[in-house]
Amino acid sequence: MNVRIVRRAREATLALGAGLHPVLARVYAARGVRSQTELDHSLVQLLPVGTLEGIPAAAELMCRHRGRRVLVIGDFDADGATSCALVVRALRACGFAGVDFLVPNRFEFGYGLTPEIVALAAARAPSLIITVDNGISSNAGVAAARERGIDVLITDHHLPGSLLPDANVIVNPNLAGSRFASRSLAGVGVAFYVMAAVRRALERDGLASPSAPGVAELLDLVALGTVADVVPLDANNRVLIAQGLRRIRAGRCVPGIRALLALAARPPADLTAADLAFAVAPRLNAAGRIDDMTIGVQCLLADDERSAAALAARLDALNEERRAIEARMQQEALAAVRVLEGPVASAVQRSGVCLFDESWHQGVVGLVASRVKERVRRPVIAFAAADAATLRGSARSIAGIHIRDVLDSIAARHPGLIQRFGGHAMAAGLTLERARLDEFARAFDAEVARALPAAGARDVVETDGELSVAEIALPTAEALRAGGPWGQAFPEPSFDGLFSVRNARIIGDRHVKMWVEVPRSGRSFDAIAFNHLAEGVSFAPPEGEWQLVYRLEVNEYQGERRLQLLIDHLLPAAAPAGAAR
């Protein structure tokens, strides 16, 4: 596969203030930041709670059930788990008498508020069901709950279908006609806004204890769920994450997050959004992928360190099991798509890729789809068997291809082909008859092919350009680290340049450690390419000049902070990269 480096356009940076590191100022400007206000991550910069449609009605509905049984129905990923824990904690702090939660086991019930889940929930006799991070496509489940006399509040962020469920109240920034200025809220962000409104309503009516913790105390959960769900980090989401990170760094987070950080050997005092994404979120997600996300929610609800540590240890063990399963599945998937690369690729055209293996695990296909998507740089759906007649698929997309819209178009062109689907721009899930997989694969390929011209070239890697030798330094790395949070649609800064590689060696079976030197500068830098061999490369790169795409990392070892280059792409030396248009 031929990768082309494109450098993000550099705009004027004068409005960002003279106190910023010049590299950081360039990076911000390339991401559309135009004023110092956009870099203010204080809570006063959050969009007002009352501007999210449905909020007043949701608060009123919940307050009516304060003395009755309330059941929170979560989702089986980290966004769903943090949403569930946040609502349960906030309601209990607000004096709600009976609050419990239920997370559907993905292997028994699938996704969302289904009629089967409603039947299970009804055994607990709730007067109100609150969905978090799900529900917007649960028409049948909502109808089943209402028939039983149970009120339903849907809080979700996934894109709605053409027909909305008949819930008492729906809060979702992606409803048609919404004027809320951040459609990128994660499920936990929506839950935070709803609970902030409930707290205000109770305070207004004199029903909230002044000594009870406020909803802002739970921003650690909001930060974790938002980062884990890989939603676009617009200005509002960056405030939510930054505030949550501040609480965690100060030690003011739930014991479960502290326990997970300890297992990952990530000191809270120097935590970044990347630490949440790559150290905490996978351990939490492992419960939903391998076992039951109830364990994850219990970990986030634990109030004492001992219980949290025991639950975190179970999550860590599940994550190790997940890693072993994923490694095998990735090998099989990457072997299957090698025909799409190299000299024979032109003869095997695939715009959208569908993969299925009888032995694949339902809970891990999303990770496999993500890995293959990164490799072939086109949308991928990986399927696993749900039962003898049904497949469940997890889709991952590339920039410019809205994967849920692709599935919606397929459903319109081929009625009945997809049984159920839902999701958002970059990720989605669906169920399908096993016998119709080939038919679906052809339809998916054709639909992605229609969307590709508008998406632009798929084999492009964007960078923030070339750094001078003086800029490749620890102070630059520290400024960039502190300049986050970085994430989807506000990417962590990366750079490209020509380097001489020497002393490359394989470590840990799949990583490549090396020294790299800017030609004719006399300066060398410690560098590492993680998972280099997992990409199908079976050797360390030979010495010589290479075009590198890299990030600057602050590497802490034995109390000393050093600069390290994290190599994302190691490409043959070529002509200078082009500029973004």
pLDDT band with cut points at 50, 70 and 90 for residue 505: confident
Among 188-202, 455-469, 478-492, 511-525, the minimum mean pLDDT is found in 455-469
Q: Are strands 390-396 and 380-385 parallel, antiparallel or unpaired?
A: antiparallel
> 241: Cβ–Cβ under 8 A, 6 or more apart, which residues?
222, 223, 226, 227, 233, 273, 485, 487
Distance CA 215, CA 204 (A): 15
At residue 581, the pLDDT reads 41
Among 15-24, 141-150, 227-236, 415-424, the minimum mean pLDDT is found in 15-24
Average pLDDT over the chain, rounded to whole?
90
Phi, psi of 244 (to 5 degrees): -65, -40
pLDDT band with cut points at 50, 70 and 90 for residue 405: very high
At residue 197, the pLDDT reads 97
pLDDT at 346 over 50: no
The residue among 355, 320, 349, 351 whose CA lies nearest residue 335 is 355
Distance CA 420, CA 407 (A): 10
Angle between helices 235-249 and 187-204 (to 10 degrees): 80
The residue among 501, 488, 493, 485 whose CA lies nearest residue 465 is 493
What's the rounded mean pLDDT across residues 85-103? 95
Q: 168 vs 61, 72, 146, 171, 321, CA distance in Å?
A: 8, 15, 9, 10, 41
* Strand boundaries in 205-280, DSSP class E: none
410 or 112, which is more confident? Answer: 410
At residue 18, the pLDDT reads 64
Distance CA 528, CA 533 (A): 12
The residue among 434, 365, 432, 436 whose CA lies nearest residue 396 is 365
The residue among 298, 309, 323, 251 whose CA lies nearest residue 81 is 298
pLDDT tens column, 414-447: 999 999 998 888 899 999 999 999 999 999 999 9
Among 343-352, 461-470, 492-501, the minimum mean pLDDT is found in 343-352
pLDDT at 306 over 80: yes
The residue among 453, 569, 482, 565 whose CA lies nearest residue 517 is 565
- Give the range with max mean pLDDT: 14-23, 161-170, 206-215: 161-170
> 276: Cβ–Cβ under 8 A, 6 or more apart, which residues?
223, 224, 227, 228, 245
The residue among 373, 49, 321, 15 whose CA lies nearest residue 195 is 49
- Residues 150-176 as b/e (b if ≥16 CB within 10 A, e otherwise) read bbbbbbbbbbbeeebbebbbbbbbbbe
Distance CA 384, CA 360 (A): 5
pLDDT band with cut points at 50, 70 and 90 for residue 340: low
3-state secondary structure 154-179: EECCCCCCCCCCCCCEEECCCCCCCC
Domains, the chain, in order of start with CATH, read 4-36+462-579 (2.40.50.460), 50-319 (3.90.1640.30), 349-458 (3.10.310.30)
Neighbours of 384 (CB within 10 A): 22
Question: What's the whole-model pTM score?
Answer: 0.90
Neighbours of 12 (CB within 10 A): 9
At residue 335, the pLDDT reads 86
What's the rounded mean pLDDT across residues 257-263? 97
pLDDT at 322 over 70: yes
pLDDT band with cut points at 50, 70 and 90 for residue 345: very low
pLDDT at 1 over 80: no
